[in-house]
C-alpha cells in the first residue's frame, strides 16, 4: 500500500519555483545568472506599511486572530471594494487568508466535488490546475490565441461549459501573459455565465493596480451586478504594495461561501499572521500615491522589454495591458540548432538552452499550458532587463 496520498500523484511541482531554484543553484556554483522567472516586485514595502507592522508588534498584537481576519482589516477590504470597484460587500462577506493562493485553494476545497469541472483559460498561472486536482475536480483548459491578446472569447467559453461546470476562473491582468480584459470583453463573458446558473466566477484580481496606458480595470461582479451572488472576488496586497513576504490575500463573496471557507480555514491554518494583517490595514487605508509612481516604472520596463524582444530573431512579443510579465512566442525558433548542435524541439528546450548559453532564466510557456512561448518577468531593475534582453537577442541570433 502506497504511503503518499493518491491526490498528490495528480500534482506537478511548480515550474516557476523550479526554474528559480535552478537559477539559484547555477549562481551559487559561480555562474553569472540573470533570473527573470520570479513574479515579485523588486520594490520594498512602503515605509508607512512597515511602521504599521512594527507598531502592531509594540502594541502586543501578537495573539491568535479570528479565522476570517481581524475586524479592522475586513472593514478595510469592504471599503476598498466599494471605493475602487463599486462593489457593496459587508465586512462579514470578506475573508483573509495567508496569501492569495490560500484563498483560491480554500475556495476550491470548499466547493469542488469529484467530477466538477473548472474552466481555466490557457495560458494560466501554474498553480490553478493543481489546486483543482487536489480538490478532486477536473480542470478544463481553453486555449487562447496570441492574435486575441491571450484572452478568452465568449464563443470558446460557451463551448467549454457543460452541466458539470462549477467555476470559471479568470485572472486579469494575467500571470503569465499580462493580458487584461476590458469592460466589454468581460461583459461578453459574463453574458455567457448568466445563461448557465450552475456556473460561478472566481476572479483573481491580484494585479488590479498594475495596468498601463489608458486601460481601465474592471472586475466581473462590477461589470455584471446580477452575478455578484455567483462570484468570488479575490485580491491581495502582495503585488501592488510589494508585500509578497507578508502573505496576505483576501476575498469577498456570498456569505454562505465565505462561511464555508471560514470553517475549512478554521481546521487548516486558523487566522493569518496578526502583524501582517495590521500592516495590511494600513496598506488598504493609507496613502495610495506610490502605486501610480511604481506603475509608471513598470510601464517603462514593459515597453523596453517588448521593444527589445521584438528586435530578437525568431521571437514575437505582444505588448500586454498589465501585470509585470510578457509572454513572447518562440515558434520560429523551434527546429533550429544551437551553437553546440542541439536542436530546439520545444519551448522548454529553448529556455534551457538560453539559460545554458547566456545565463538568462525565464519560464517555458508549456508550464503555463500554452506554448511555444516563454514568460519574462520584468519586475527587476531596468539595467538588468536591458542586459538580459541583449543576451536573449544574442542567443536568438546564434541559432541556425
| Confidence at residue 355, expressed as pLDDT on a 0 to 100 scale | 93
Across 234-261, average pLDDT: 98
What's the rounded mean pLDDT across residues 94-109? Answer: 98
The mean pLDDT value for 43-72 works out to: 98
> Predicted confidence band at 152 (pLDDT cuts at 50, 70, 90)?
very high
Closest-CA residue to 44 (of 245, 262, 198, 192): 245
Q: What is the pLDDT of residue 18?
A: 76
* CA count, 13 A, side-chain hemisphere, 149: 15
In SS3 terms, 71-126 reads as HHHHHHHHHHHHHHHCCCCCHHHEEEECCHHHHHHHHHHHHCCCCCEEEEEECCCC
Whole-number mean pLDDT of the chain? Answer: 96
Q: Span 37-53, mean pLDDT?
A: 95
Does the pTM surpass 0.85? The reply is yes
State the Cα–Cα distance between residues 298 and 293, nearest whole angstrom.
Answer: 9
| pLDDT given at position 62 | 98
The residues facing 202 across adjacent strands are: 169, 232
Instruction: Give the CATH fold of the 6-44+290-398 domain.
Output: 3.90.1150
For the chain, report the end-to-end CA distance as a whole number of angstroms: 51
Hunting for cell 468570488 — which residue is that? 232
Q: Taking a C-beta distance cutoff of 8 angstroms, is the pair 273, 246 a contact?
A: yes
Q: Which residue intervals of the chain bear CATH 3.90.1150.10?
A: 6-44+290-398
DSSP helix/strand/coil, 159: helix
Q: What is the rounded average pLDDT of the residues 169-175?
A: 98
Span 213-235, mean pLDDT? 98
CB atoms within 10 A of CB 279: 28
C-alpha closest to that of 126 among 101, 95, 151: 101
Q: pLDDT: is 1 or 215 the higher one?
A: 215
* Cell representation of residue 73: 482589516
Tell me which residue has cell 493569518.
272
> What are 356-398's pLDDT values in tens digits?
999 999 999 999 999 999 999 999 999 999 999 999 999 999 9
pLDDT for 2 beyond 90: no
The answer on pLDDT for 9 being more than 90 is no
* CATH class for the domain made up of 63-285: alpha beta
Amino acid at each position: 500500500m502506497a504511503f503518499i496520498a493518491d491526490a498528490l500523484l495528480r500534482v506537478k511541482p511548480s515550474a516557476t519555483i523550479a526554474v528559480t531554484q535552478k537559477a539559484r543553484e547555477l549562481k551559487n556554483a559561480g555562474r553569472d545568472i540573470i533570473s527573470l522567472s520570479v513574479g515579485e516586485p523588486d520594490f520594498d514595502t512602503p515605509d508607512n506599511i512597515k511602521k504599521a507592522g512594527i507598531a502592531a508588534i509594540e502594541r502586543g498584537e501578537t495573539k491568535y486572530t479570528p479565522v476570517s481576519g481581524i475586524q479592522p482589516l475586513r472593514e478595510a477590504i469592504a471599503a476598498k471594494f466599494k471605493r475602487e470597484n463599486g462593489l457593496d460587500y459587508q465586512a462579514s462577506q470578506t475573508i483573509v487568508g495567508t496569501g492569495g493562493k490560500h484563498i483560491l485553494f480554500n475556495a476550491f476545497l470548499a466547493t469542488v466535488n469529484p467530477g466538477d469541472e473548472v474552466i481555466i483559460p490557457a495560458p494560466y498561472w501554474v498553480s490553478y490546475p493543481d489546486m483543482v486536482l487536489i480538490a478532486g475536480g477536473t480542470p478544463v483548459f481553453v486555449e487562447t490565441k496570441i492574435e486575441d491578446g491571450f484572452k478568452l472569447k465568449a464563443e470558446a467559453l460557451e463551448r467549454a461549459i457543460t452541466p458539470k461546470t462549477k467555476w470559471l476562473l479568470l485572472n486579469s491582468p494575467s500571470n503569465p501573459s499580462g493580458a487584461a480584459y476590458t469592460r466589454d470583453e468581460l461583459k461578453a463573458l459574463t453574458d455567457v455565465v448568466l445563461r448557465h446558473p450552475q456556473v460561478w466566477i472566481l476572479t483573481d484580481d491580484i494585479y488590479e493596480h498594475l495596468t498601463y496606458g489608458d486601460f481601465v480595470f474592471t472586475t466581473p461582479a462590477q461589470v455584471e451586478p446580477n452575478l455578484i451572488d455567483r462570484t468570488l472576488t479575490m485580491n491581495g496586497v502582495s503585488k501592488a504594495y510589494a508585500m509578497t513576504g507578508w502573505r496576505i490575500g483576501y476575498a469577498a463573496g456570498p456569505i454562505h461561501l465565505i462561511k464555508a471557507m471560514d470553517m475549512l480555514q478554521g481546521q487548516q491554518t486558523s487566522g493569518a499572521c496578526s502583524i501582517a494583517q495590521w500592516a495590511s490595514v494600513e496598506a488598504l487605508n493609507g496613502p495610495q500615491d506610490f502605486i501610480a509612481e511604481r506603475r509608471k516604472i513598470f510601464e517603462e520596463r514593459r515597453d523596453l522589454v517588448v521593444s527589445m524582444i521584438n528586435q530578437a530573431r525568431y521571437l514575437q512579443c505582444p505588448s500586454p495591458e498589465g501585470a509585470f510579465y510578457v509572454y513572447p512566442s518562440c515558434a520560429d525558433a523551434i527546429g533550429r540548432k544551437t551553437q553546440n548542435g542541439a536542436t530546439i524541439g520545444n519551448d522548454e528546450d529553448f529556455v534551457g538552452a538560453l539559460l545554458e548559453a547566456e545565463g538568462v532564466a525565464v519560464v517555458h510557456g508549456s508550464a503555463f499550458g500554452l506554448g511555444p512561448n516563454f514568460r519574462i518577468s520584468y519586475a527587476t531593475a531596468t539595467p538588468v532587463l536591458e542586459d538580459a534582453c541583449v543576451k536573449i537577442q544574442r542567443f536568438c541570433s546564434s541559432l541556425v
